[in-house]
Amino acid sequence: MIPAGWFLSLGLLLFVLGIIAFFVKRDLLTQFLSIEVMLGAGNLAFLALARGPAKVEAQVIVFFVMTVAAAEAAVGMAIILLVHRRRRSIKTEDLRTLKG
């Protein structure tokens, strides 16, 4: 059996990669994808730390987090589409009408 520490390390690696991608990438869609990677990393960490019969509750949480991710995706895609329709671009550097 693969030890839990390996899964946790993989989760941590994915999480850090997600953060890096969020700051390096410059368009809404890819940044949103990197957030999804981070949420997946959180799920993996939950599963790694919930191994054992007494910790079923943490495995249930993963389903909740997936639902949250799906809801975020639905609203997020609509917003990204709206931005694209108004500006013909989803680059974050074009989002600068609001500043002060």
Residue numbers at the binding site for another protein (CB under 8 A): 8, 11, 15, 18, 22, 28, 31-32, 35, 38-39, 41-43, 45-46, 48-50, 55, 57-58, 61, 64-65, 68, 71-72, 75-76, 78-80, 82-83, 86-87, 92, 95, 97-100
- Supply the minimum distance, in Å, between the C-beta of residue 24 and another protein: 14
For another protein, which is the closer residue by CB, 2 or 75? Answer: 75
Tell the smallest beta-carbon distance from residue 55 to another protein (Å): 8
Q: Minimal distance in Å, beta carbon 41 to another protein?
A: 6
Closest separation between CB of residue 29 and another protein, Å? 11
Q: How far apart are CA 47 and CA 42, in angstroms?
A: 9
The residue length of the chain stands at 100
